[in-house]
Amino acid sequence: MGRVIRAQRKGAAGSVFKSHTHHRKGPAKFRSLDMGERKGYLKGVVTEIVHDPGRGAPLARITFRDPIRYKLQKELFVAAEGMFTGQYLYCGKNAQLSVGNVLPVGQAPEGTVICNVESRVGDRGVLARASGDYAVIIGHNHDNATTRIKLPSGAKKVISSGCRAMIGQIAGGGRTEKPLLKAGRAYHKFRVKRNCWPKVRGVAMNPVEHPHGGGNHQHIGHGATKSRNAVPGQKVGLIAARQTGRGGKKKFIKTSI
């Protein structure tokens, strides 16, 4: 039996591959859905735009007045492009359609650019949250109160019209267009995320350490595709690949003589 490979070690509980969360500012979410947002709107002010280590998009600290008690509610939102300190934001059903405001997708017209979209009502935003990302509202079905949106991947998704979203696109777009150029920048980029860099290739290892290891030349030596049900020590390469290469499937056209 060979060694426990890297993929197996990542899945096990332990300290080596834990996410580096100590310096992060906190979870970036919408307000908890309450009666004020369901029936009207709440006004907040952007007090600060902050960098969150390990995240490409900036965060915005938003201060709301508590609707019930005499105190302030401080929330952390993923910042939209064009957001600035001192800006007033409005969250709720009756909020206007302007950049940074949060309202149910059912209240926005077709073609609206949105971001930080809820997948289920009240989950506080899970879709289109990476830097520069946005989703687009394709259409509404008023009969069953659903809305069809186009995600950054190009996939279409049907969600409840009560799901909230922020108007605009996430700030920090174009981040990946600038090349890292040197290893030191990659080191600092991944240092604040998790232990996933540098990544040694399997063909550069010994046979005991990886299924692709060994041989007098760096080559796999067998097919790289693996079953979805492969055991953990073997599950490397192209897992459950539908198709490999660029050839595609040949189509035969029957012609009648």
Q: Tell me the per-residue pLDDT of 219-229, one tens digit each, with 9 for 90 and over.
A: 999 999 999 99
Model pTM score: 0.89
Q: In residues, how long is the chain?
A: 257
Angle, CA of 20, 199 and 190, to the nearest 5° = 30
pLDDT at 257: 62
Q: Tell me the per-residue pLDDT of 168-221, one tens digit each, with 9 for 90 and over.
A: 999 999 999 999 999 999 999 999 999 999 999 999 999 999 999 999 999 999
Q: What percent of the chain has pLDDT over 70?
A: 96
| C-beta separation of 151 from 157 below 8 A | yes
Closest to 20 in 3D by CA, of 55, 66, 59 = 55
Question: How many Å apart are CA 245 and CA 238, to the nearest integer?
Answer: 11
Question: How many Å apart are CA 188 and CA 199, to the nearest integer?
Answer: 15
Q: How confident is the model at residue 248 (pLDDT cuts 50, 70, 90)?
A: low
Residue 147: phi, psi to the nearest 5? -130, 140
CA distances from 53 to 14, 23, 56, 170, 202 (A): 22, 7, 8, 16, 30
Average pLDDT over residues 132-153: 97
Report the helix count and the strand count for the chain, using DSSP H and E. 3, 12
Q: How confident is the model at residue 246 (pLDDT cuts 50, 70, 90)?
A: confident
Residue 190: phi, psi to the nearest 5? -90, -15
